[in-house]
């Protein structure tokens, strides 16, 4: 198939493109490079620099005999979304609407969407499954939930087949070392830990050590980006013969912040300097997911998502002593 990947030069997108090409698909990348990295653009992919907000570019790209779309282009900083909701409305909501409308014009009727665990809000029970209530506590999560609702209507009214993939905490780099471009402006724990280990940052903050968890720090469910990428390929292929679906993508196991710091020091041989500060508003003590539906529908499992593998793959990219071709 010929696949359009929006945001295909970004951190997750570049790994998805790699897996699509390895699976024999032709790929067109559309990316405005606000978060993308030229180094990560696959040499066998066609690259178009542009935004999902540009309807002319979208029309031209969808005219390239595209069979299906994997939509990753979005802003994803939850904190920023609470201070600049206009930015997230424009990019996430308007951009996705433009993509869908261009698809309808060109009769492209399958769509893989990168959603998020942020649609759930505070967990009412663990592990969080797809039947959990949907009560986002930040505007970013709201935009993703609004798009999921939009997709249901496009399915009902237009016959669109879609997969909404609710990511938990994506982390790691390609385990074979084929992607080296660093994520821009990381907001998540593991890349920040790597920046401390590599000397980019002198220290980092740990937000709260007084949670009702095993060591007082927050617990999260991490999924290796290679596992995430393989799920996109499986979802795209599943949609060719099956109906729309929504699933979680996660390991199903949680690690605390202190677990991460200890294992990072083990993997890197560096001291991860940190300060304990107050809790961040909106951070639940623990967030672990159930991915049973992904296992059943797609025959998918997380193969690389143990903490040691995730951190080793990251250190291979962040370590300033490792030279990449």
The residues assigned a catalytic role are 140
HSE, CB side, 13 Å, CA atoms: give it for residue 52. Answer: 30
CA distances from 125 to 96, 212, 220 (A): 31, 15, 14
CB burial string 206-239: b at 16+ within 10 A, e below: bbbbebebeebbbbbbbbbbbbbbbbbbbbbbbb
Long-range pairs of 87-92 with CB within 8 A, sequence gap ≥ 24: 88/139, 88/140, 88/143, 89/143, 90/53, 91/52, 91/53, 92/140, 92/143, 92/144, 92/147
Residue 106: both structure tokens together: 């060109």
């Amino acid at each position: 198939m010929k696949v359009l990947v929006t945001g295909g030069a970004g951190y997750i997108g570049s790994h998805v493109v790699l897996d699509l090409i390895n699976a024999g698909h032709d790929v067109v990348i559309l990316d405005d490079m606000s978060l993308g990295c030229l180094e990560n653009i696959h040499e066998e992919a066609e690259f178009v620099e542009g935004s999902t907000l540009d309807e002319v570019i979208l029309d031209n790209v969808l005219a390239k005999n595209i069979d299906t779309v994997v939509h990753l282009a979005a802003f994803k900083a939850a904190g920023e979304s609470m201070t600049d909701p206009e930015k997230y409305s424009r990019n996430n909501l308007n951009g996705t609407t433009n993509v869908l409308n261009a698809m309808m014009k060109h009769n492209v009727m399958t769509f893989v969407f990168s959603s998020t665990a942020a649609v759930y809000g505070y967990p009412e029970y663990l592990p969080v499954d797809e039947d959990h209530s949907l009560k986002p506590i930040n505007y970013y999560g709201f935009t993703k939930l609004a798009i999921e609702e939009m997709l249901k209507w496009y399915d009902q009214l237009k016959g669109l087949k879609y997969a909404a993939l609710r990511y938990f905490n994506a982390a790691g780099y390609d385990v074979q070392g084929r992607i080296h471009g660093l994520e821009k402006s990381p907001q998540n724990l593991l890349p920040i830990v790597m920046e401390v280990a590599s000397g980019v940052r002198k220290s980092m903050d740990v937000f709260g050590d007084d949670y009702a968890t095993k060591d007082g720090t927050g617990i999260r469910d991490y999924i290796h980006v290679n596992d995430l990428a393989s799920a996109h390929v499986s979802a795209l292929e599943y949609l060719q013969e099956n109906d729309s679906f929504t699933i979680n993508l996660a390991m199903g196991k949680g690690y605390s912040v202190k677990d991460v710091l200890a294992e990072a020091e083990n993997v890197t041989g560096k001291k991860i300097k940190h300060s304990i500060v107050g809790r961040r508003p909106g951070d639940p003590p623990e967030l672990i997911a159930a991915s049973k539906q992904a296992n059943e529908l797609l025959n998918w499992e997380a193969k690389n998502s143990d903490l040691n593998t995730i951190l080793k793959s990251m250190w291979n990219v962040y370590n300033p002593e490792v030279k990449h071709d």
